[in-house]
Structure 1
Amino acid sequence: MTIGFRTISGLVVPAVSNLFCLARVQLSTVNMAENNPDYKSATSIHEFTVKNIKGEEVKLDVYKGHVCIIVNVASQCGLTANNYKQLNELYDQYAESKGLRILAFPCNQFAGQEPGNSEDIVCFMGERKVKFDMFEKIDVNGDSAHPLWKFLKNKQGGTLGNFIKWNFTKFIIDKNGIPVERHGPKTDPLDLVKSLEKYW
Structure 2
Amino acid sequence: MQGIFAGRTQLRYPYGRYGYTRGGGKIWHGGMDLVGSDSTDIRMPYYKNKRITGKVVRARRVTDHSNKTWEWGWYVCVQLDPGQTPDDVNYLYFCHCRELKVTAGQAVASGDLLAVMGQSGNAAGGYDHCHFEARATAAGKGLDPSQYAGCPNAVGVYGEAPGQADSGEENEENDDAAKKLQRISIGPVSRGDADAVYAVCVSRGLVAAGLYKSEWSV
State the TM bucket, normalised to the shorter chain: under 0.3
Which one has the bigger helix percentage? 1
Which one has the bigger strand percentage? 2
Please report the TM-score for the alignment, with normalisation by the length of structure 2. 0.23
